């Protein structure tokens, strides 16, 4: 594996899946002698909670729930 000119590396999918490293996951780096350790940042909220928080308050409609359901089931 090589580091790009921007200092980026690709973490193999097997490792990302095993450790739950999803897009927007915060990580930390720790230098231990000649090695670098990458870890999930402590206290990070779960991805679903982050997505919901980002979308909260974004809906801008004057339709009632019944009207929305009628449109989606129509």
**DSSP bridge pairs for 28:** 39
Question: Is a pLDDT exceeding 90 seen at residue 51?
Answer: no
For the chain, what are the domain ranges?
1-48
Domain 1-48 classified CATH 2.10.260? yes
Q: Which band of pLDDT confidence, cut at 50, 70 and 90, is reported for residue 47? A: low
Q: What are phi and psi of 51, to 5 degrees?
A: -65, -45
Residues 6+ away with beta carbon under 8 Å from 62 = none
User: What tokens were used for 1?
Assistant: 């594996």
Q: What's the confidence (pLDDT) of residue 55?
A: 83
């Amino acid at each position: 594996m090589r580091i790009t000119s921007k200092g980026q590396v690709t973490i193999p999918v097997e490792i990302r899946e095993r450790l739950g490293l999803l897009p927007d996951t915060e990580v930390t780096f720790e230098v231990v002698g000649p090695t670098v350790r990458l870890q999930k940042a402590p206290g990070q909220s779960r991805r679903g909670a982050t997505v919901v928080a980002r979308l909260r308050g974004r809906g801008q409609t004057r339709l009632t729930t019944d009207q929305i359901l009628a449109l989606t089931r129509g």
